[in-house]
Amino acid sequence: MKKKLLLIISYIIIFFNSNVSSEENNNFLKIGLLAPLSGEYRELGESLLYSLQLALNEINDKKVLVIPRDTGSNNPEKLIQAINEIKSEGANIVIGPIDNEDFENVNKFTDTIFISLSNINPKFEKNILSIGISFESQMTALITFLKKKNKNKTVILLPKNKYTSLIENKLKNLQLNNYKIFKYSPDPKILTGEIEILTNYNQRKKNLELRKKTFADKDDEQSQIELSKLEKKYTLGEVSFDSVIIIDFGNSLKSVLTSLAFTDVNEDKVLFTTLNQWFDESIFYEKTIKSLYYPSVDYKEFQKFRKDYYKTFNIYPTEISILAYDAIGLIYYLWKKNGNIKSINDFSFKGKIRGKIGTFSFDKVKIIQDLDIYRVKENSFTKF
């Protein structure tokens, strides 16, 4: 299988490069690709390369040429060399880099436009446009959803890590109302105690015990019925919020959900939501909650992309590769519309674009994704 994939990659690179070398017509759209085709993140780079091949197959326009170059993994020197090679082939627009930590280096190439797959900032940054699923777009979708569900006492659960300050600043810029931020430790041993404080768990436990005592010594039928009901409870009393937004993912997200379930947060009254999910089926095995909601790309298009990708290459794509697919579609759309692309400001146009990830638009030099809300329930993803 590895040999077969290497042959496919070699063929794609040769195909791209042979097209470039055989044509020097200025009417051609030449697009660079910065991808880690070697090193630690090689599989990601290969997935991006395959995605562009799928996109080119669908566009079916021989005037669109892709120039892929290997950036290695965390290799600034190789990144700069790759950009220079792409520029020497006549391309002034590049898909990449993946990581926002490379922005300082690519900012130096002021005559080149970079379409990054990063989600760190939806605003145009000098010569960089980031099309990753931004925090701002996800939060906007969630806030709209919570309003529709008549939730107005929301707690935003935020892990304490290197991104905490960044997220806090982004939340501040969103100018939210009726939202409380609660920061927690990523250490599961500490986390549960912190969630107990958030949910006033100990007091609610005491409330239950005190209430049970009022009926314990009574023999009348009604008292015994009430006591029987209380015996089935773990706590007594409501929490101070009606919804939570958990800004976390993976095992850390599952730890938070487990802690909320342990502290007896009533799902019938409190709505559980989160961010940064790509239809991760491992969440199906998290049985501590009944339902979890989150904003995401279009599920049907995502599944179709995965199916087409697998059918063509006999492997499944990385999640981020669908962004590369949409990136080339966006560039092609603008090129056909304007005849050329001179600067990043050409992307600030009115109207909405429909891509694989869903609908997105540009407003005040900022990309906005219209995301759908999905519900995880009974081992399935359901669009809200």
In terms of Cα–Cα distance, which of 252, 244, 246, 249 is closest to 187?
252
Residue 202 has pLDDT above 70, yes or no: yes
Beta 113-116 vs 128-130: how paired, if at all? parallel
pLDDT at 8: 42
Helix (H) or strand (E) holding 24: none
pLDDT for residue 282: 78
pLDDT digits 0-9 by tens, 109-126: 999 999 999 988 888 888
Tokens of 341: 């692309």
* Residues 160-186, mean pLDDT to the nearest whole number: 90
Q: Structural domains in the chain? A: 2-133+299-369 (3.40.50.2300), 135-199+239-296 (3.40.50.2300)
Between 218 and 115, name the one with better pLDDT: 115
- What does the pLDDT read at residue 280? 79
Please, which residues have CB within 8 angstroms of residue 60's CB and are 6 or more apart in sequence?
none
Burial of residue 25 (CB within 10 Å: 0-12, 13-18, 19+) is exposed
- Residue-wise pLDDT for 140-171, tens only, equals 999 999 999 999 999 999 999 998 999 999 99
Q: 286-327, pLDDT tens digit by residue?
A: 777 888 999 998 899 999 999 999 999 999 999 889 999 999
Predicted confidence at residue 95, as pLDDT, reads: 96
Dihedral sign (CA 98, 103, 108, 114)? positive
